[in-house]
Amino acid sequence: MKLHNTERNYSEKLKDIETLARGLPAVSIMEICGTHTMAIGRSGLRRVLPDNIRLISGPGCPVCVTHDREIDNYLELAKDKRVIIATFGDLLRVPGSKGTLNAARSQGAGVVVVYSTLEALRLASNNPDHEVVFLGVGFETTAPTAALSIIQAKSQGLGNYSVYSMHKLVPPALEALLCDGSVKLDGFICPGHVSTIIGTSPYTFVAEQYKKPCVITGFEIHDILDGLYLLLLQMRQNKAKIDIQYIRGVKPDGNPIARKTMDTVFRTGDVLWRGFGVIPNSGLHIREEYRDYDASVKFGLAMDHHYINEKEAICSCGDILKGLKTPNECDLFKGLCTPLNPFGPCMVSTEGACAAYYRYEA
Amino acid sequence: MDTITLAHGSGGRLSRELIEEIIYPIFNNNNGHELYDSALLPLKKGTIAMTTDSFVISPIFFPGGNIGKLAACGTINDLAAAGAIPKYMSVGLIIEEGFLIKDLQEILISLYETAVEADVYVVTGDTKIVERGSADRIYINTSGIGIVPEGASVSPKNINVDDLVIVNGTIGDHGMAILSCREGLSFGVNLKSDCTPLNGLVKELLDVGGISCMRDPTRGGLASILLELAHQSGTKMEICEKAIPLHPSVRAGCDMLGLDPLYLANEGKLAIIANPSKEEEIMRVLQSHPLGKNAQVIGRVASRDLKGTVLLETDLGVKRPLMLLEGEELPRIC
Ligand code: SF4
C-alpha cells in the first residue's frame, strides 16, 4: 500500500483497515492529540470504523490540561494595571475558578490576542510603560517559539517582556497513562507536529517497555487512515514499534535546532496537569539564566502542587483526558456545559474532546 | 494637515475643509445629487430594498482591499443578494483623532471606485471625529437603497426540494486573508480577500432565471448562511465536502490554526439556491464570469424539514449535521 497517496480513495483505505481489523480482538487506540480528535470528529471517522476498533481521545489538548491554578494565576496577573497579557486566542474563554480572560478584558484588563510570539515581542517594544506577559501554553510544538522570544527579548534588551511558562511535554503524560493502567490502551496515534521537533526516540519506551505500537501521524484524514492502517498492521504482526506515517514532516531525530533553543531556555520539572495531578518532569520551567524573563519569578506566581481543584470534582475533564469517559458520559455535557458557556476547558478549546464531540459527534 | 484632529469634528471651518477638500472631491459620482444631509431620490416602479451595515474591521488595510472597499461591497452585495439593483449609498464615518488623512483618502477612494464599478451613487453621508482612544482608527457605516424589478423575487420562501446549492467560487478567502496579515502567520503569497461587488454577476444570474434564493455568506461563513436559509425555508439541505471549492492557502491556514473554512468570512461569494432545470445555463453564466469561474454545485435541497438542517457529507461518506457557530472561532495554539 502506498502511503499518503490521495489517488487511493478513502473507501479503499477504509476497506484495507477493515481487512486488517478482521480477526483482531477489540482494540482501543488513543489519539493523543486534540488536532487529531478534531479531524476525526469532522470527518465522522468513528462512525465508519469496524466495530472492534475504538478510538479514544487523549490528553493532547494543551488548553485542556492547563491546571486551574495556572489559570487563576494569570487571571490575577491580568488585574495588574501595568500588565498586558499577550495570549493565543484559545485561552480567552477558559474558565478559572473565578472568571475568564475575556471577562477580565471587558472589565478593562489589558489582554491582547496574538498569533505568534513575534507579535508579543512587538507589543512589548511598542508599550515600554507596560509589562507584557506572554502566556506560554502548549507542548513541544510551541515551546521552541516561546524560548526563541525570550532569547530575542534578552538580545534586544527588552526588559518589559516575560513568559509565564505553562508548557508541558507529551511523552511523560503517556507514561503516566500507561503506568496508571486504569484504561486499556492497545496503541497510540501520536501527533506529527510534536515529532517534527522531538523525533521518535522519546516514544521508544512505549514500544519497548509497554509493548504498545505507536504511529506518528499527520493531520489530514488521509494521514489518519494511513496511520491506523500501520498501527493495525503492527498489531496483526504482534509487533510494537514507532512507525512514522508523517514522513513528509518528521525526521527520526526531529528538529535539533528547535530542541536546542528549547533546552537553552527551559529545564524540565514536575508540574500539575488537570485531571492527572503532578507528573514528574513533564513541564518546562525557565532556567535561572533567563529568570528576568520568567513571569512566575517576576510576579511571584506560586504553584501549589497540593492545590485542590473543586471544579474537577464535578466536571469529568480528568476522566475525559485519561480516556476513561467519552464526553457524552459527563453529566454536564450539553446541559450546563456548552461551547458558549463552558464549565471545563475541554469544551472551550477548538482542540478539546468535549468541543469536538459537541460539534461533530453528539 | 496630515492627520485628523478633534477640531475636524467641531462643525467649524476645519470640518468644512475636511468635507469639501478631502471627502467631496472623492465622491463625485453623485449623479447631480448635491451631498446634503438628506438625499432626494426619484423612484421608479418596483420594490425598494434598503440595507445598512457597519464596518469595524482590523486591520483596516489587508491583502485585496481595505475597510473602504469592504464597506461598499458589504452594502452592495446585501442588496444584490436580495435581488435588488443597488442604486444609492450613504457613508457614515467615525474617525479617531490622529488618523492620517492620506489613509482616509486611500480608503475613501477605494470605497468610491467600488461604488462606481457597481454603478451606485454615494448620495449622502456623515462624519464624526472622536477622541484618541475612543475608536480604533476608523469605523464606516454604509446604508444602501436598491430597486427590486417588478416580478423579480428571491426569497427563502421560494426554496424547493431538489433545488441545487451552488457557490460562485472558493470559500473562506476573506477570513483567511485577514488572518494572514497577522505577524508571524503567512499562508502563501497569493491569498487575497475576495472582497468585490457582486451585483453585475447577480444581474446576469437573475436574467437567466431559475434562482430561488441567494445570500452572500459574510461573517459566520457558508455554514451559517446555509443553516439560516434551511431554517427560513423549512428544508433539509445536503452538501458535499468534496465539492466545496477551497483555495490551497485557505486549506493550509485552516489546518494550521484549527479553523473550519465553512465558518470563515467571505466578501465576494454567493450561496445560490436554484432550480435544477436551469443548472446548465446558470453554471455557464457563472463559469464564464470572472467572479464565478470556480463555481461549483455543492449540494441540493433534500427534503422539507421544519427544523431546518444542513447535512455535510464528509470525504469519508459520513453525513453529519452542521451546527451554528457558538461564540467566535478561536484559532488554536499548536
Ligand atoms: S462536558 Fe464540560 S464539564 Fe463535562 S468533562 Fe467536558 S468540559 Fe468538563
Which positions ≥6 away from B275 have C-beta within 8 Å? Answer: B160, B163, B164, B210, B211, B212
Atom of ligand 1 nearest to the CA of A348: 7
ipTM at complex level: 0.82
Radius of gyration (Cα) for chain A, nearest Å?
Answer: 21
In this prediction the pTM is 0.87
Residues from chain A that touch B181, judged by Cβ atoms under 8 A, are: none
- From A62, A89, A340, residue closest to B334, measured CB to CB: A62
Taking an 8 Å cut-off on Cβ atoms, the answer to whether B330 and A93 are in contact is: yes
Cα nearest neighbour of B241 on chain A? A43
Residue A309: per-residue pLDDT: 65
A346 C-beta closer than 6 A to ligand 1: yes
Residues from chain B that touch A117, judged by Cβ atoms under 8 A, are: 184
Beta bridge mates, A60: A33
Whose Cα sits closest to atom 7 in ligand 1? Answer: A344
Tell me the backbone φ, ψ of residue A354, rounded to 5 degrees: -70, -40
Torsion, CA B289, CA B294, CA B299, CA B301, rounded to 10: -20
For chains A and B, CB pairs below 8 A equal 97
- The single-letter code of the amino acid at B133 is G
Ligand 1: centre distance to CA A320 (Å):
8
Taking an 8 Å cut-off on Cβ atoms, the answer to whether B330 and A115 are in contact is: no
Tell me what the pLDDT averaged over chain A comes to: 91
First to last CA, chain B: 46
A343 C-beta closer than 6 A to ligand 1: yes
Instruction: Name the one residue in this structure whose C-alpha cell is 488585574.
Output: A79
For the cut 50, the answer to whether the pLDDT of residue A1 exceeds it is no
Taking an 8 Å cut-off on Cβ atoms, the answer to whether B258 and A351 are in contact is: yes
Cα nearest neighbour of B262 on chain A? A42
Gap between the Cα atoms of A115 and A87, Å rounded: 8
**Residue A355 and residue A361 in contact, taking contact as beta carbons nearer than 8 Å:** no
Cα nearest neighbour of A33 on chain B? B334
Q: What is the DSSP letter of A294?
A: B
Residues from chain A that touch B315, judged by Cβ atoms under 8 A, are: 10, 43, 221
Q: What is the DSSP letter of A310?
A: H
- The single-letter code of the amino acid at B33 is H
Residues from chain A that touch B320, judged by Cβ atoms under 8 A, are: 44, 360-361
Atom of ligand 1 nearest to the CA of A315: 3
Q: Which residue did the predictor score with more confidence, B50 or A342?
A: B50
Between A288-297, A349-358, B131-140, the lowest mean confidence (pLDDT) is in: A349-358
Which helix (DSSP H) or strand (DSSP E) does residue A214 occupy? strand A214-217
Instruction: Name the one residue in this structure whose C-alpha cell is 528576568.
Output: A292
Cα B156 to Cα A164, B40, B82, B225: the distances in Å are 51, 32, 10, 11
Give chain B as a 3 state SS string.
Answer: CCECCHHHHCCCHHHHHHHHHHHCCCCCCCCCCCCCCCCCCCCCCCEEEEEEEEECCCCCEECCEEHHHHHHHHHHHHHHHCCCEEEEEEEEEEEECCCEHHHHHHHHHHHHHHHHHCCCEEEEEEEEEECCCCCCCEEEEEEEEEEECCCCCCCHHHCCCCCEEEECCCCCHHHHHHHHCCCCCCCCCCCCCCCCCCHHHHHHHHHHCCEEEEECCCCCHHHHHHHHHHHHHCEEEEEEHHHCCCCHHHHHHHHHHCCCHHHCCCCCCCEEEECHHHHHHHHHHHHCCCCCCCCEEEEEEEEECCCCEEEEECCCCCEEECCCCCCCCCCCCC
Residues from chain B that touch A349, judged by Cβ atoms under 8 A, are: 330, 332-333
pLDDT in tens, chain B (334 residues): 688 888 787 777 788 788 888 888 888 766 666 666 677 777 777 789 999 999 999 899 999 999 999 999 999 999 999 999 999 999 999 999 999 999 999 999 999 999 999 999 999 999 999 999 999 999 999 999 999 988 778 899 999 999 999 999 999 999 999 988 876 676 665 789 999 999 999 999 999 999 999 999 998 899 999 999 999 999 999 999 999 999 999 988 888 788 899 999 999 999 999 999 999 999 999 999 999 999 999 999 999 999 999 999 999 999 999 988 776 777 666 5
**Residue A98 and residue A75 in contact, taking contact as beta carbons nearer than 8 Å:** yes
Taking an 8 Å cut-off on Cβ atoms, the answer to whether B331 and A89 are in contact is: yes
Taking an 8 Å cut-off on Cβ atoms, the answer to whether A117 and B184 are in contact is: yes
Atom of ligand 1 nearest to the CA of A334: 1
Helix (H, G, I), strand (E, B), or coil: what is residue A333?
Answer: strand
Model pLDDT for residues A167-188, shown as the tens digit of each residue = 999 999 999 999 988 889 999 9
Taking an 8 Å cut-off on Cβ atoms, the answer to whether A44 and B316 are in contact is: yes
Atom of ligand 1 nearest to the CA of A320: 5
Torsion, CA B39, CA B43, CA B46, CA B47, rounded to 10: 30
Helix (H, G, I), strand (E, B), or coil: what is residue A243?
Answer: strand
C-alpha cell at B100: 492620517
Whose Cα sits closest to atom 1 in ligand 1? Answer: A333
Gap between the Cα atoms of A26 and A190, Å rounded: 20
